[in-house]
């Protein structure tokens, strides 16, 4: 397809597509004339992925390129590929900043051990969890392991649903794309479901 | 306590406390001298709530005042109080914007009906869910009712855990404060748990 059709089908403007081409985020099309190139479904897929990374996940163009490069590089290792897509594997120069040995990060480690989960030491989600526990403690609402465990067990079952949706996708890059979109885009949906379920549960308990 | 101690115990600067007093977010202390007032634990509680609303939930000072007023107004109706705290009851002038009758909002309505959930028609979470379904569809990843249902069932169980934590709090305003903090602050923690659980599930399926 021509660049105009790629633009129409992806919903990304021609100007932006040209920018992605210049920045190396999108591989060049097949040159058919001096000023004309042909693009295919791979380009369409890749554009979707770029939009998800920059738009929804809010990555910079540079960070997006690093993630895309990492996805291509690890195309033969599904676990690593999903790790990159899901953000559990850190890409690029930024190491998991010092992982300050706080009381909370030790608590997270204890939780992971209790759950017998296989989670990389540098997984950013560990830091996010530790930080949240710290905020709650500062606000006078400490959460202990005992309270977190049942939440973690439900997260375990959510993750099974997530991974089920990637089953049967032979192309690992397509699986990575899907993983990324589902993970990132489903977050607001899952939180919305929780809010609605809370309202329902509150009605069940408090309404006559 | 004096304002200096209130500042020390809440972690909010004296300047900011004075600003909240001027804006009517914080009720005045008991005047003990021309330039001196005494504050109590209610002020401490309220400061926490203000920080949660402005900081974590990102509300403006005006919107925060509206939520606080609504909490006080509905102190005798636990369900409504929790609704305000959890954001399922809209506070202030902004009605649930037109609730454009999209295909997705009809899908959300079908889901709520299938679940037999009691969720207000104007609950903002409905719009969030519909919007997410729309984004996923635009990206070529439509999610049907069949896929969403098991997620919703897990959300139901998460909400039971959430509401359990509010049990035994006699003071409805304290329950509302706790509900707000737990709901809003737990969101990143729950998403982090999901990410870690995904990594674990991916390792289980794809590592030798």
A181/B157 touch (CB, cutoff 8 Å), yes or no: no
pLDDT digit string (tens) for A98-138? 445 688 899 999 999 999 999 988 888 898 899 888 878 87
Q: Which of A123, A189, A206 to mutate to test the interface with B (most CBs of B within 10 A)?
A: A189
Contacts of B162 in chain A (CB under 8 A): 194, 198, 201
Rg (alpha carbons) of chain A, rounded to whole number:
21
pLDDT tens, residue order, chain A (208 aa): 999 999 998 889 999 999 999 998 999 999 998 888 999 988 988 888 788 778 766 778 888 888 888 777 777 777 777 777 776 666 554 444 544 568 889 999 999 999 999 998 888 889 889 988 887 887 777 888 888 999 999 999 999 998 888 887 777 777 777 887 777 778 888 989 998 999 899 888 888 7
Q: Taking the mean position of all CA atoms in its chain, how far away is CA B21? A: 23
Q: What is the greatest pairwise CA distance in chain A?
A: 75
For chain A, the straight-line distance linking the first and the last C-alpha, in angstroms and rounded, comes to: 62
Contacts of B178 in chain A (CB under 8 A): 141
Closest approach of B106 to chain A, Cα-based (Å): 15
Average pLDDT value over all residues in chain A = 83
* B200: nearest CB among A117, A133, A192: A117
Contacts of A90 in chain B (CB under 8 A): none
Closest approach of B196 to chain A, Cα-based (Å): 6
**Cβ neighbours of A137 (radius 10 Å):** 14
A197/B135 touch (CB, cutoff 8 Å), yes or no: no
DSSP-H helix ranges across B56-171? 61-73, 78-86, 103-115, 124-138, 145-164
Pairing mode of beta strands B36-38, A30-33: unpaired
Inter-residue contact A89 to A183 (CB < 8 Å):
no
pLDDT digit string (tens) for B132-168? 888 788 777 788 888 899 999 999 999 999 888 888 7
* B151: nearest CB among A185, A193, A202: A193
What is the arithmetic mean of pLDDT over B110-123?
Answer: 91
Chain A nearest-CA residue for B166:
A202
Q: Is B200 on the interface with A (CB under 8 A)?
A: yes
- Point out which residues pair with A33 in neighbouring strands: A36
Inter-residue contact A99 to A105 (CB < 8 Å):
yes
- Residues with Cβ < 8 Å from A16, sequence gap 6 or more? none
- Give the H/E segment covering residue B30: strand B30-33
Task: Output the pLDDT for position A153.
Answer: 96
User: Which residues 44-103 on chain B approach chain A with CB closer than 8 angstroms?
Assistant: 48, 51-52, 56, 78-79, 82-83, 86-88
* B198: nearest CB among A86, A133, A147: A86
User: Which residues 130-169 on chain A approach chain B with CB closer than 8 angstroms?
Assistant: 131-133, 135-136, 138-141, 143, 147-148, 150-152, 154-163, 165
Q: Is A14 on the interface with B (CB under 8 A)?
A: no
Token look-up 């465990």 returns A149
Three-class secondary structure of residue A22 per DSSP: helix
- Residues with Cβ < 8 Å from B53, sequence gap 6 or more? B59, B63, B64, B67, B68, B180
- Residues with Cβ < 8 Å from B136, sequence gap 6 or more? A181, A185, A186, B142, B143
* B193: nearest CB among A139, A152, A199: A152
Helix axes A145-164, B172-206, angle to 10 degrees: 50
Give the CA distances from residue B107 to residues A196, B110, B150, in Å, rounded to whole numbers and listed in that order: 15, 5, 15
Instruction: Work out how many CB contacts closer than 8 A connect A with B.
Output: 253
Q: What does the alpha-carbon distance between residue A54 and residue A94 come to, in Å, rounded to a whole number?
A: 18
Closest by CA to A86, choosing from A201, A183, A152, is A183
* A183: nearest CB among B143, B163, B198: B198
Token look-up 């005045």 returns B28
A197/B159 touch (CB, cutoff 8 Å), yes or no: yes
- Give the H/E segment covering residue B36: strand B36-38
Task: Output the pLDDT for position A95.
Answer: 45
Inter-residue contact A29 to A37 (CB < 8 Å):
yes
Lowest mean pLDDT among A91-95, B61-65, B115-119, B166-170: A91-95
Q: Taking the mean position of all CA atoms in its chain, how far away is CA B146? A: 28
Inter-residue contact A111 to A152 (CB < 8 Å):
yes
Report phi then psi at A37, rounded to 5.
Answer: -140, 155
Token look-up 């609605």 returns A196
Task: Output the pLDDT for position A90.
Answer: 60
């Amino acid at each position: 397809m021509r660049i105009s059709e790629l633009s129409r089908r992806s919903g990304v403007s021609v100007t932006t597509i040209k920018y992605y081409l210049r920045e190396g985020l999108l591989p060049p099309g097949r040159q058919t004339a001096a000023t004309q190139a042909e693009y295919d479904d791979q380009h369409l897929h890749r554009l979707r992925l770029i939009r998800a990374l920059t738009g929804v996940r809010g990555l910079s163009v540079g960070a997006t390129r690093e993630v895309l490069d990492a996805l291509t590089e690890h195309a033969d290792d599904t676990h690593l590929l999903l790790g990159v897509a899901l953000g559990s594997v850190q890409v690029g120069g930024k190491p998991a900043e010092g992982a300050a040995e706080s009381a909370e990060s030790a608590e997270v480690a204890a939780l992971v051990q209790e759950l017998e989960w296989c989670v990389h030491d540098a997984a950013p989600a560990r830091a996010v969890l530790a930080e949240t526990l710290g905020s709650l403690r500062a606000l006078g609402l400490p959460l202990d392991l005992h309270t977190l465990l049942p939440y973690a067990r439900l997260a375990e079952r959510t993750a099974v649903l997530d991974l089920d949706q990637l089953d049967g996708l032979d192309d690992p890059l397509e699986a990575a794309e899907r993983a990324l979109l589902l993970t990132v885009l489903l977050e607001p949906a899952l939180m919305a479901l929780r809010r609605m379920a809370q309202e329902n549960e509150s009605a069940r308990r408090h309404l006559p």
